[in-house]
Amino acid sequence: MGAKGVSSLVAAVLLAASIAFQVWEAPAQPPPPPDTTGPLITDTAVPTAKGKFSLQPFWSLSFKGGDFSSRWGRRSAGGDFVSFNLPVKFIYGLAPNLEVYAIVPYVHNWAGHVENPGPKGNRSADFGGLGDISLSLKYQLLKETQWRPTVSALVSVGFPSGHRYGLNPGRLGADALGAGAYAFTLGANLAKWLGPVYVNANLWYSLAASPPGVVAHRQSGPLLVPVHGRDLINGNLAAEYPLTTRWVALLEFYSAWEVGPVFGRFHEPTSILLGIVPGVEFIFSPRWSCALGVALDLAGKNSPYAYTPIFSLICNF
């Protein structure tokens, strides 16, 4: 082979290597995920941009179907119990990669045809008011790349603003509007565009603490024994599938697992709740969008279960 042939061979090898390298080399950044309203229960991982403000109310009407037993069985609810919830979420981009949001809920409960009547023989009641307010900070630790998801850390405090203590037996439990304890939550949110599906996931750990001067008790024979609320692990997963530029299909899985607690003691058995949310989203414009779904409690232990239609509207300013 002459010098001309060698030169041609070298040029061909270099050209093939250049093409192979371009094919092999992954782009530094993945394509941006589509615009969506976001999940109904699962929290997002990407914080709102600095200086941006969003308002997002949720309307939900929960119909209690019954209670899960300690063996994952189902028991009667013992009446008709309905709960209306209107949490309003205020979201603000506080700094680059840092979002703060507050959730202020209104709750109204109804009880009817209750099998175990109240002290005056009443079998129906209703009560409404402010629920437990929460304040959260979300900070993006890692930005999404071709191979890794967005990873954000979440810190949240829940305040016992909902009516809980001094309940009136005549209201048949309808006046229980909150947990009656502070909730301190640490967690991680993840998000990844796995075209054609956008995935969000949460893993949170919440510790409960009674308000100062307030101690919850349970009856143990003739004695009242002080107890502590259990800690809670939440694991959520949401997949959004854009059907068109305006319509998005949504499917979520949610779970709540009682554990511990790390501090204090608790005498009641742990509860577990697992469910799904099928839904759909619609994008009116970059400023307005909405989502509609139904939360279905599918399985659990020592926990009530319900069927809950949810509608959410978000406005970006």
Q: Cα 93 to the chain's mean position, in Å?
A: 20
Q: How far apart are CA 110 and CA 178, in angstroms?
A: 15
CB 290 within 8 A of CB 237: no
CB 231 within 8 A of CB 256: no
How far lies 316's CA from each of 48, 90, 154, 198, in Å?
10, 11, 22, 20
**With b meaning 16 or more CB within 10 Å and e meaning fewer, what string describes 157-194?**
ebebbbbbeebeeebbbbbbbbbbbbbebebebbbbbe
Nearest to 253 by CA among 277, 279, 281, 280: 277
pLDDT at 23: 45
CB count in 10 Å sphere of residue 79: 17
Prediction pTM value: 0.85
pLDDT at 209: 81
Q: How far apart are CA 126 and CA 120, in angstroms?
A: 15
Contacts for 158 with CB less than 8 Å, ≥ 6 apart: 132, 133, 134, 179, 182, 183, 184, 185, 206
Give me the average pLDDT of each 10-residue run along the chain (317 residues): 50 49 49 83 96 97 96 93 97 97 97 90 94 97 94 97 88 90 95 94 92 53 52 96 95 94 71 97 95 98 96 96
Token reading at 133: 């307010």
